[in-house]
């Protein structure tokens, strides 16, 4: 079995690579493409290991953001210039806090990142630069789709949901950074977007429901219940299935997406979830 180990930052990568290289296994660095140079640390490909590589790294107390089964990238690595150096002023650093499967599409990835400083003042400017998506002014949160992907900017987190693989995440990250830097560089002339909008809705809710179509919620199926939740005609506790322990990840992800949509009438915990 081959694994790809993703680290939160460059220091963790260096420590992790050194630790793994001292074991009788094959270790290869997966370099970050030039277009993401400095944004994220390289990853490490590990093969020929008898046990899960996380055990080795945990014993050395090396932070790890996630460990993925290895598979070749689905497309060629694009050739592009390094990111605008202004990204460091705009974000003051970046860390990958988590990478793993997405609840809303288990064959794809979700990546959580934490900027070095609060982005609350920039998000209303970023919202001004794009059309569509969902935008909530208080606290400022912007969510928008790129084909099947869902990208979210909140004051303390960047989320990339349903990316195809690590390369696809890198491409989406560069796009997000370019957008944030554009807002940063125009911050003296851009007017903050103050009006909420809802461009993410019932389909995102539906993707997080159990999909049993049992009817116990009073709706004909899960899609109808998702629409009722979106329209505030139903409440979360009307679905007894999602309260079961085996659906806990879906429940947390559902609370997260509802907090992004901005509905506060459902009695949901609006804290950030790692499970979209």
pLDDT at 154 over 70: yes
The answer to whether residue 11 is domain-embedded is yes
pLDDT at 266 over 50: no
Say yes or no: 137 and 50 in one domain. Answer: no
The pLDDT of residue 1 is 80
Say yes or no: 171 and 220 in one domain. Answer: no
Give the pair of three-digit tokens for residue 88. Answer: 């460091």
The answer to whether residue 269 is domain-embedded is no
3 state DSSP class of 174: helix
11-31 average pLDDT score:
90
N- to C-terminal Cα separation, the chain:
27
Domain final residue, candidates 36, 69, 102: 69
The answer to whether residue 212 is domain-embedded is yes
3 state DSSP class of 100: strand
Contact 64, 19 (CB under 8 A): no
Contact 133, 145 (CB under 8 A): yes
The answer to whether residue 275 is domain-embedded is no
Say yes or no: 181 and 224 in one domain. Answer: no
Domain final residue, candidates 21, 42, 69: 69
More confident: 269 or 175: 175
> Using 50, 70 and 90 to split pLDDT, how confident is the model at 263?
low
Give the pair of three-digit tokens for residue 10. Answer: 């460059």
Contact 95, 9 (CB under 8 A): yes
Place of tokens 């070749």: 72
- Distance, in Å, from the CA atom of 111 to the CA atom of 223, rounded to the nearest integer, reads 26
- Distance, in Å, from the CA atom of 198 to the CA atom of 179, rounded to the nearest integer, reads 20
- The CATH number of the domain where 223 resides is what? 1.10.15.40
* 43 strand-pairing partners: 30
Say yes or no: 162 and 103 in one domain. Answer: yes
* Domain count for the chain: 3
pLDDT at 276 over 60: no
pTM: 0.86
pLDDT, tens only, 25-73: 889 999 999 999 999 999 999 987 666 778 888 888 999 999 999 999 9
Say yes or no: 108 and 148 in one domain. Answer: yes
pLDDT at 87 over 80: yes
Least confident of 75-84, 119-128, 258-267: 258-267
Say yes or no: 17 and 93 in one domain. Answer: no
The answer to whether residue 24 is domain-embedded is yes
Domain final residue, candidates 69, 100, 120: 69
Full residue range of the structural domain in which residue 234 is found: 202-261
- The CATH number of the domain where 161 resides is what? 3.30.310
The answer to whether residue 272 is domain-embedded is no
The answer to whether residue 169 is domain-embedded is yes
Question: Measured between alpha carbons, how far is residue 171 from residues 77, 149, 187, 214, 264 in Å?
Answer: 9, 12, 24, 39, 33
| Cis ω for the linkage preceding 139 (within 30 of 0) | yes
- Distance, in Å, from the CA atom of 164 to the CA atom of 109, rounded to the nearest integer, reads 6
In sequence order, what E strands does 137-228 have? 141-146, 149-154, 157-163
Average pLDDT score, the chain: 90
Q: Which residues of 56-90 are buried (b: 16+ CB within 10 A; e: fewer)?
A: bbeeeebbbbbbbebeeeeeeeeeeeebbeebeeb
The answer to whether residue 160 is domain-embedded is yes
């Amino acid at each position: 079995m081959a694994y790809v180990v993703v680290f939160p930052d460059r220091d963790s990568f260096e420590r992790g690579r050194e630790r793994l290289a001292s074991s009788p296994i094959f270790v290869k660095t997966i370099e970050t493409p030039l277009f993401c140079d400095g944004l994220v640390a390289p990853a490490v490909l590990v093969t020929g290991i008898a046990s899960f590589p996380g055990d080795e790294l945990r014993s050395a107390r090396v932070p790890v953001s996630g460990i993925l089964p290895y598979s070749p990238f689905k497309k060629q690595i694009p050739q592009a210039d390094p990111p605008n150096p202004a990204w460091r002023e705009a974000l003051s650093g970046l860390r990958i806090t988590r990478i793993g499967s997405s609840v809303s599409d288990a064959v794809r990835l979700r990546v959580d990142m934490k900027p070095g400083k609060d982005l609350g003042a920039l998000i209303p400017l970023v919202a001004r630069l794009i059309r569509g998506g969902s935008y909530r002014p208080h606290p400022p949160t912007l969510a928008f789709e790129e084909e099947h992907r869902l990208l979210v900017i909140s004051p303390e987190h960047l989320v990339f949901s349903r990316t195809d693989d690590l390369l696809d995440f890198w491409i989406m990250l560069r796009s997000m950074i370019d957008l944030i830097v554009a807002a940063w560089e125009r911050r003296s002339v851009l007017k903050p977007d103050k009006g909420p909008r809802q461009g993410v809705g019932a389909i995102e809710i539906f993707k997080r429901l159990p999909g049993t179509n049992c009817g116990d919620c009073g709706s004909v199926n899960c899609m109808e219940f998702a629409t009722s939740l979106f329209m505030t005609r139903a409440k979360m506790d009307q679905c007894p299935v999602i309260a079961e322990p085996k659906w806990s990840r879906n429940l947390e992800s559902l609370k997260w997406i509802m907090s992004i949509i901005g509905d506060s009438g459902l009695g949901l915990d609006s804290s950030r979830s790692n499970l979209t």
